[in-house]
Chains A and B, each alone.
Chain A
Amino acid sequence: EPEVTQTPSHQVTQMGQEVILRCVPISNHLYFYWYRQILGQKVEFLVSFYNNEISEKSEIFDDQFSVERPDGSNFTLKIRSTKLEDSAMYFCASSPRSLNEQFFGPGTRLTVL
């Protein structure tokens, strides 16, 4: 069964550094998402991406964040200048169509020191 994959599984970075989190959604899916989950807390929506552009973003997704789908298979989340409070598990998800199951990747644990 196809799965969403994410790399790396764990990223440790210094405050102020840029990080890029990578995701490979399921191949025939059309909707792509990033969520984050701070340890012990709920999953929070960051951004949705459809038809090669951002369709919606949350208040968390400020100017320090950006997303790209550079080559039709990868879907990346970039944080330009990381802060301590960016430490969280970041999940990528994809969905084949509107109002359908979102399939989550295994997550990337980001630790900002």
Chain B
Amino acid sequence: GENVEQHPSTLSVQEGDSAVIKCTYSDSASNYFPWYKQELGKRPQLIIDIRSNVGEKKDQRIAVTLNKTAKHFSLHITETQPEDSAVYFCAASPLGGYNKLIFGAGTRLAVHP
């Protein structure tokens, strides 16, 4: 079945710096890749997603890139702010899996003022 690896597990940056989180997936048929942000004690919330027919997508300070050949995708946050501090999870949805999401282990991002 699908397996998603996520790196790094923790990331500490200064306010205003960029943050990059990387994920790899194993099932080449996976075709939907969302990123979720989870603040302490809260529900995961979608921040951006990308489908396999697109290589890059951007939404203000957040961007996601997808390399289908290498089976990896990345989250880029520019001009980080303290409120970006949270745990970020990548996920992949295998084709034909009724859209179940297979999550990575998460990255704890700390943005220091």
Distance of A106 Cα from B51 Cα, bound (Å): 26
Tell me the bound Cα distance from A95 to B100 in angstroms. 11
Interface mask (B81-93 → A, CB under 8 Å = 1, otherwise 0): 0000000010101
Number of A-B contacts (CB under 8 A): 59
Q: Name A31's contact: one of B36, B43, B99, B105 (CB within 8 Å).
A: B99
Asked if B43 contacts A91 (CB within 8 A), the reply is yes
User: Could you tell me if B34 and A101 are in contact, using CB atoms closer than 8 angstroms?
Assistant: yes
The bracket for how many chain B residues form the interface is: 20 to 34
Do residues A102 and B101 form an inter-chain contact, with CB atoms below 8 A? yes
Interface string of A73-87 (1 = CB under 8 A from B): 000000000000000
B104 touches A42 (CB 8 A): yes
Q: Are B93 and A99 in contact (CB under 8 A)?
A: yes
Report Cα–Cα, A67/B45, bound state, in Å: 24
Q: Is the CB of A56 within 8 A of B51?
A: no
Interface residue B25 (Cβ < 8 Å from any Cβ of A): no
B46: A residues at CB distance < 8 A: 101-103
Q: Does A18 make an interface contact (CB < 8 A)? A: no
C-alpha spacing A92/B92, complex, angstroms:
18
A48 to B102, CA, bound (A): 12
Chain B min CB distance to A57 (Å): 9
Chain A: residues with CB nearer than 8 A to chain B? 31, 33, 35, 41-45, 48, 50, 55-56, 58, 91, 95, 98-107
A-B contact pairs, 24 of them (CB 8 A): A31-B99, A42-B103, A42-B104, A43-B36, A43-B44, A43-B89, A43-B91, A43-B103, A45-B101, A45-B103, A48-B97, A50-B98, A55-B98, A98-B99, A99-B32, A99-B99, A100-B99, A101-B34, A101-B46, A102-B34, A102-B99, A103-B46, A104-B43, A107-B43
Q: Which residues of B contact A (CB under 8 A)?
A: 31-32, 34, 36, 42-46, 49, 51, 89, 91, 93, 97-106
